[in-house]
Amino acid sequence: MNIRFHGHACFEIASEAGRILIDPFLRGNPSTTTKPEDFNQLDAILVTHGHHDHLGDAVELSKKTGAPIIAVYELAAYCQSKGAATHAMHLGGKHQFSFGWVKLTLALHGSGIEEKEGGPMIYGGPPCGFLMQIEGKWIYHAGDTGLFGDMELIGLRHPLEVAMLPIGDNFVMGVEEAAHASQLLRSKVVIPMHYNTFPLINQDAGEFLRMLQRRVPETKGVVLKAGESFELV
């Protein structure tokens, strides 16, 4: 299974069971050269919340590939109104797709949809994280979130192989909080995300790795640049 990072919070997971894209903020993303035109086949598009740097190009990609956007009910309804294929879910619910299981988790954040800069916010439902079981392996994309105690419950109930955690601070967890989250989750591998895309969320990923090594030495930190991938075997 290949997990490719496309900058910010966008990940592509490709396995024999299928190909999915999470939070496809591509066009307008200064941290990646990947574009929506680079994707011709997808099995699903997972969107954690409605902010533009996560919803991104999801509707365009769904129309192009026919892949359903998997999101909370309110955000899925918005995407459907724009012509996208969707599969609505909600927090705590799970569903088996052709590529594996998806379960929606709590995330501490917001989810307003801003159709144009400075325009009114459209309610997008609550934000979420995604727990995925693909080829028998559990993967966790936390979405945009602050630290919360139930991350320990996520780790206890699901033996995580990989967790993608934000470290950018200001809008999400910072380095120290993400290291503490790693203690709760006990994933074998943690990949930091949602940092250095814009000046306001600049962080030192090396500091995160050092803190992770001190606090959770059994967890491996993997820093990916946009376009790089991690092979999960």
The tens digit of pLDDT for each residue in 4-17 reads 999 999 999 999 99
The tens digit of pLDDT for each residue in 16-30 reads 999 999 999 999 999
What residue has token string 């999400």? 172
The tens digit of pLDDT for each residue in 67-82 reads 999 999 999 999 999 9
The reported pTM is 0.98
The tens digit of pLDDT for each residue in 189-231 reads 999 999 999 999 999 999 999 999 999 999 999 999 999 999 9
The tens digit of pLDDT for each residue in 150-174 reads 999 999 999 999 999 999 999 999 9
User: Alpha-carbon distance 121 to 136, whole Å?
Assistant: 39
User: Alpha-carbon distance 137 to 219, whole Å?
Assistant: 16
Confidence check: pLDDT of 117 > 90 = no
The pLDDT confidence band at residue 118, using thresholds 50, 70 and 90, is: confident
What is the arithmetic mean of pLDDT over 100-110?
98
Confidence check: pLDDT of 119 > 90 = no
Residues 6+ away with beta carbon under 8 Å from 38: none
CATH architecture of structural domain 2-231: 4-Layer Sandwich (3.60)
What residue has token string 């991938």? 229
Confidence check: pLDDT of 180 > 90 = yes
What is the arithmetic mean of pLDDT over 54-78?
98
Task: Tell me how far CA of residue 50 lies from CA of 72, 76, 138, 183, in angstroms.
Answer: 10, 10, 24, 28
